[in-house]
């Protein structure tokens, strides 16, 4: 199989790249080369900015592919560019959408690929929906061989999966735990969530590559395991060897008080219970099964980050914001009880 990944070094795509390299796939990565250090042997790179359409077209003029996958497209205009570049040059075009495109709030907590697409809280999700609609139009009217992939919360060894964190990543929450400072959990922490390790996601994705039954289809790839946010934070604390000091805060309050896009990330995603039905994926990829439990995966992540200081990026602004939110709640409680 000859495949081209646009991107290929992110949380989701890096695991796919590694597994394909081990299988002997003829794999090309098209990116700007900023994170290509340590790529597996045999992976070939085409260094270019995908937005420089003329240059990319020239670099690819003598190539055709069995699969092209775009991991970094977020708006319809980017898919219009991909259609111009790859129509007639690939047997399958795979677009990475998002499970946050599903109806929010849900009318049924069990999500299938037939769940309506609608998210009034998050522009990111609405753009992904618009991308899907454009691609399906090209499939219906021109036979463009599209497969749409919807990941949910996928993580790897470099980032701790959290509900609330700052713009510099997840480390500051772990640091607060290590310092026995209170940690914010959105809502009451009992809503169900699905975490998928990127190595498991890669198994499902690779099973859909070159799969004739996946053409014209939308498929989500997630674990079957559902856990509460309280359980997730308890696992993180346990992996750090500390006792969790949790403060539960309304998602609406957090979104209203944050300068970051918590309205989209919380109200449009993580504050909602999600349980995925993976029957369609398992029908298309019969040997797919997610094998990394949440507690196992998070412990691996914690161990990796503790051993790699370069991933321990502090975020003093987020730390101060947490203190302010928690202090405001304590002040409000005292004023009511006076």
Is the same domain home to 34 and 121?
yes
User: Which CATH number characterizes residue 101's domain?
Assistant: 3.40.50.720
In a domain, 338, yes or no: no
For residue range 20-61, list pLDDT tens digits in order.
999 999 999 999 877 777 788 889 999 999 999 999 999 999
Is the same domain home to 229 and 108?
no
Integer Cα distance of 63 and 61 in angstroms: 6
As a whole number, the mean pLDDT across the chain is 95
Is the same domain home to 309 and 183?
yes
Q: Record the pTM.
A: 0.94
Is the same domain home to 203 and 257?
no
Number of domains within the chain: 2
**Interacting residues of 5 by C-beta distance below 8 A, sequence separation 6+:** 13, 16, 17, 27, 28, 29, 30, 68, 69, 71
Supply the range of the domain harboring residue 119: 2-155+197-221
In a domain, 284, yes or no: no
In a domain, 335, yes or no: no
Is the same domain home to 139 and 181?
no
User: Which CATH number characterizes residue 269's domain?
Assistant: 3.90.25.10
For residue range 294-329, list pLDDT tens digits in order.
999 999 999 999 999 999 999 999 999 999 999 999
Is the same domain home to 118 and 13?
yes
């Amino acid at each position: 199989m000859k495949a081209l990944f646009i991107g290929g070094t992110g949380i989701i795509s890096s695991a796919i790249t590694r597994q394909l390299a081990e299988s002997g796939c003829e794999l090309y990565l098209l990116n700007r080369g900023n994170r290509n250090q340590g790529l597996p042997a045999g992976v070939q790179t085409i260094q270019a900015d995908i937005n420089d359409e003329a240059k990319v077209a020239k670099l690819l003029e003598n190539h055709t592919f069995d699969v092209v996958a775009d991991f970094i497209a977020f708006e319809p205009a980017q898919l219009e560019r991909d259609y111009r570049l790859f129509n007639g040059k690939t047997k399958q075009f795979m677009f990475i959408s998002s499970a946050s495109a599903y109806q929010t709030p849900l009318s049924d907590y069990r999500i299938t690929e037939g769940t309506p697409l609608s998210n009034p809280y998050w522009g990111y999700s609405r753009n992904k929906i618009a991308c899907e609609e454009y691609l399906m139009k090209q499939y219906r009217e021109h036979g463009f061989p599209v497969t749409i992939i919807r990941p949910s919360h996928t993580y790897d060894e470099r980032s701790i999966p959290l509900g609330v964190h700052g713009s510099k990543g997840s480390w500051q929450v772990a640091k607060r735990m290590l310092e026995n400072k209170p940690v914010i959990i959105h809502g009451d922490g009992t809503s169900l969530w699905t975490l998928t390790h990127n190595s498991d996601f890669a198994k499902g994705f690779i099973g859909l590559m070159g799969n004739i039954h996946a053409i014209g289809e939308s498929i989500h790839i997630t674990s079957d395991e559902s856990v509460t946010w309280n359980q997730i934070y308890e696992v993180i604390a346990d992996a750090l060897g500390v006792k969790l000091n949790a403060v539960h805060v309304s998602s609406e309050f957090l979104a209203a008080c944050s300068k970051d896009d918590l309205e989209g990330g919380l109200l449009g995603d993580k504050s909602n219970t999600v349980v995925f039905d993976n029957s369609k994926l398992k029908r298309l990829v019969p040997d797919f099964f997610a094998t990394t439990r949440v507690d196992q995966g998070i412990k691996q992540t914690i161990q990796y980050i503790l051993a790699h200081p370069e991933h321990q990026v502090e975020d003093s602004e987020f730390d101060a914001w947490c203190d302010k939110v928690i202090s405001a709640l304590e002040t409000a409680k005292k004023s009511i009880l006076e």
